[in-house]
Amino acid sequence: MNPMVKAEGVCKRFGRLEVLKGIDLEVQPGEVMCIIGPSGSGKSTFLRCINHLEKVDAGRLSVDGELVGYQQRGDKLYELKENEVAHKRREIGMVFQRFNLFPHMTALENVIEAPVQVKGESKAQARARGAELLDQVGLADKAKNYPRQLSGGQQQRVAIARALAMQPKLMLFDEPTSALDPELVGDVLAVMRQLAKDGMTMVVVTHEMEFAREVADSVVFMDGGVVVEAGKPEDVIRSPEHERTKAFLSRVLRKD
């Protein structure tokens, strides 16, 4: 079986600033990987490369055996057309730090927008499934509410339902709880925990060490655009080998 995500020497540069300096990692199907590290370490950028929101400058990045954003024919790489990129993104769900719900649509409309507009599902079918998904994230009674009428935690759970509506094979979470009030974090993490239990492949950029320790199959510590340390959560978080990991964890864990 192909790894769900495979990165080999992935580099990314914004102007003169080198954000990723050769990332190598693999995510297996069904695996939950948490990426931790200080801000500015490139972890969000790497996540955004996986669904081609950012273009990779060097190295190879593939999802489920297929290159991201390019196609190889012979020994030449061809850039994918816009609609081909869009087509591939259908299978990768993404949850953003700032939720990015569509403010002019109700919660249910947010959830059914892509299935109807992108996949061409019938509205009735999409509605039924959308209601199910909202129920799954504990928001069955908020279907008709607009995003501004929901709390941050509720908005983020709608955003998760919206991503799941496309039936993705991979879910990317970009600091999904960083913009939330502390008392709302738990509800979102509970939904993600259930998702992991159901066997979804997930890559999660997070500062929630407790969640990483408990839910992740593997933890990757990034700093300065490179993977410093990777392995089982108990190894990386409990007994880190590298000085940088130790320093970071001692700063983060002191808060707990």
Partner 1 sequence: MSLSTEERRPEPVKAVPVRHVGRWIGGAIVLALAALAVRSIIVNPNFHWELVGPYLFDTRIANGLVTTLLLTVGSMAIGIIGGIVLAIMRLSPNPVLSGAAGVYIWLFRGTPLITQLIFWANLGALYPTFGLGIPFGPEFVTWQTTATITVPVAALLGLGLNEAAYMAEIVRAGISSVDEGQNEAAGALGMTRGKTLRRIVLPQAMRVIIPPTGNQVISMLKTTSLVVVIGYTELTVVAQQIYAQNYKVIPLLVVTAIWYLVCTSVLTVFQGFIERKFSQSTIQTTGWASRMFGFRFGGGKDRQ
Q: 21 vs 178, which CB is nearer to partner 1? A: 178
Pick the piece of the chain touching partner 1 (CB under 8 A) from 71-79, 92-100, 135-143, 239-247: 92-100
Q: Is the Cα torsion angle 91, 84, 81, 112 positive or negative in sign?
A: negative
Per-residue contact flags (x/-) with partner 1 for residues 154 to 183, judged by CB under 8 A: -----x--xx--x-----------------
CA angle 182, 184, 186 (to 5 degrees): 90
Nearest Cα residue to 203 out of 94, 100, 98: 94
190 binds partner 1 (CB under 8 A): no
Residue from 73, 74, 82, 243 binding partner 1 (CB under 8 A):
82
DSSP 146: -
Q: 26, 29, 3, 32: which is closest to 196 by C-alpha?
A: 32
DSSP 1: -
User: Nearest distance from residue 21's CB to partner 1, in Å?
Assistant: 24
Task: Tell me the DSSP string of 161-204.
Answer: HHHHTT--SEEEEESTTTTS-HHHHHHHHHHHHHHHHTT-EEEE
Interface with partner 1, residue 120, by CB under 8 A: no
State the nearest-atom distance from the C-beta of 163 to partner 1, in Å. 7
Residue 114 or 219 having the CB closest to partner 1: 114
Exposure string (b/e) for 196-217, b if CB count within 10 Å is 16 or more?
A: beeebbbbbbbbbbebbeebbb
Does 147 engage in binding with partner 1 (CB under 8 A)? yes
Beta carbon of residue 109, minimum distance to partner 1 (angstroms, whole number) = 10
211 SS3 class: helix
Q: Which is nearer to partner 1, 94 or 209 (CB)?
A: 94
Q: Does 42 bind partner 1 (CB under 8 A)?
A: no
When binding is defined by CB under 8 A, the residue of 101, 158, 196, 220 that contacts partner 1 is 101
Binding residues vs partner 1 (CB under 8 A): 51, 53, 82-83, 86-90, 92-94, 96, 98, 100-106, 113-114, 117-118, 146-148, 159, 162-163, 166
